[in-house]
Amino acid sequence: MYWLSYVIIAVILGGLLLAWKTEMYLTQILVIVNLLIFMSVYIPGMRYPGLTYTVYNDLAGRAIYLQTGRSLHTFLTLMFLHADFMHIAGNILVLFFIGIALEDRIGKRDTAIIFFVTGLIATLGQYSINWGSTALNLGASGAVMGLMGAIVYLYPRDKIPMFLGPIFMPAVRVDLAVVVFIAMQSGIALLSSSSNIAHAAHFAGFAAGIIIGIVMRRYSFGIEKEKTKRDHSCLKKLVTSNELHSIYENIKEADNEEVRDAWIEFFLEKANCPRCSKRLEGDRCHCGFKIWE
């Protein structure tokens, strides 16, 4: 395997470790890692085309690998490779806006589960259509579609920011944003120099995201279930400062549910995990601690 391929694998693993060990958003790390890898392969490849092919040959996927059992690392690495600027631009744009919005709501761990599991399912979906093919498969599109499927199922009426061409829109309903993002991504794919669009991967990733969303709502953090079991008294153990004590008193005294929820959200932004002392990610921590359990 080419030396640059080893460097790229190290960058991927290092990025994931950084996401696990720090308070940075997983989505931010994924965006940065994808951009670093793209610049390290595509830009030098403009002068030395053989370099790009060599790295893709090492790290991109091929359906034939399911039969041979070779290069199984490509199930991970193919999600961090892109064919050209339009290809990565479409994926990074959607990943940033959808990924951040979803991670804000369900936390880093569950976002990682959705991204990597749907990415794997998307790849298997594409391979099932192209069984035995030696054609290269690359891109984060399947995993990004998985994030879209999950958020549109879990939070269809929530509002998130997005770009519509050069226009920034700070609050767009998730269901409408997903429709627009899919249309934009499809348009960008058509403009891409790569003519081989993995439609099966896109469909499989999106469907897998919806299914995982259903499972997570039922067994992990279900929205309706969460509202009924919230007992704000469990926040008392997180009160470690005068500021948190003051906010906690406002939570107890609030006579309106929406006001109380707003104070709880503000409280959680200021609180640290009682288990590992790191900043909470919404109502949970990456160490596994959850407020409402």
169 and 266 in a single domain? The answer is no
196 and 285 in a single domain? The answer is no
- Residues in CB range of 216: below 8 A, 6 or more apart: 106, 110, 150, 154, 222
pLDDT of residue 223: 45
111 and 164 in a single domain? The answer is yes
Show which of 179, 199, 221 is a domain's final residue.
221
Strands (E), 87-211: 136-137, 159-164, 167-173
198 and 74 in a single domain? The answer is yes
Output the six-digit token pair for 20: 């696990």
166 and 202 in a single domain? The answer is yes
Residue with tokens 């359990």: 293
Show which of 175, 200, 221 is a domain's final residue.
221
Q: Which domain holds residue 166?
A: 3-221
176 and 206 in a single domain? The answer is yes
Task: Give the helix/strand (H/E) hosting 248.
Answer: helix 242-253
Torsion of CA 218, 224, 227, 229, to 10 degrees: -50
d(Cα 81, Cα 83) in Å, to the nearest integer? 7
pTM of the complete model: 0.73
Counting as low any pLDDT under 70, the low residues of the chain are 165, 185-197, 220-231, 293
Q: For residue range 22-50, what is the model confidence (pLDDT) as tens digits?
A: 989 999 999 999 999 999 998 888 888 89
Show which of 221, 241, 271 is a domain's final residue.
221
- Residues in CB range of 102: below 8 A, 6 or more apart: 27, 111, 114, 147, 150, 151, 154, 155
**Which of 102, 103, 81 minimizes the C-alpha distance to 92?**
81
